[in-house]
Structure formats: structure tokens, C-alpha cells
Amino acid sequence: CFGFGVVLTINLGAELYIGNSFTTLIPLYNKQVSVKDVLRVLAYSFIGNTIGNFVFCALFMQTNSFNNCN
């Protein structure tokens, strides 16, 4: 499953929550953005990733592929 996630991230240009955490904390450390801005970006990223996970899980369940994972 990790390989599938990496391929989707690279090919679809998706952003990972960990990547957003890293790239938004550097400007915070340099005092270029506020804590409120960083929390807003992290919250949107987390919500988007959660919705995406539910969508992909639903698609995975719809294809009945989980029966072939022995």
C-alpha cells in the first residue's frame, strides 16, 4: 500500500500532511508567517487528506480488491 500511495502522490501531484508540516514550519521559525496561518494550512491539509483517504478506501472496497490480498 505504501508504494501505491507514493505513486499516487507523485503522479497526481498530491500533497502529504507531513510535507505540509515541514514546509509551513520553516517560515514560522523564521517569523515570516503567524501561528494562526500555519494552523489553518495544517487543518486544511489534514481535512483534505482525511476526505481523500475515505474516498480511496470506498473505491478500494467497491472494487472488491481486498479479497485478493492473501
Q: Is the pLDDT of residue 8 over 70?
A: no
pLDDT in tens, 23-63: 888 888 999 999 999 899 888 888 887 888 788 888 878 88
Question: pLDDT value at position 61?
Answer: 80
Q: Is the pLDDT of residue 70 over 60?
A: no
**Cβ neighbours of residue 28 closer than 8 Å, sequence gap 6 or more:** 34, 35, 38
Question: pLDDT value at position 64?
Answer: 79
Give the residue, 12 or 26, on which the prediction is more confident: 26
Q: What is the dihedral of CA 14, 12, 51, 35, to 10 degrees?
A: 10
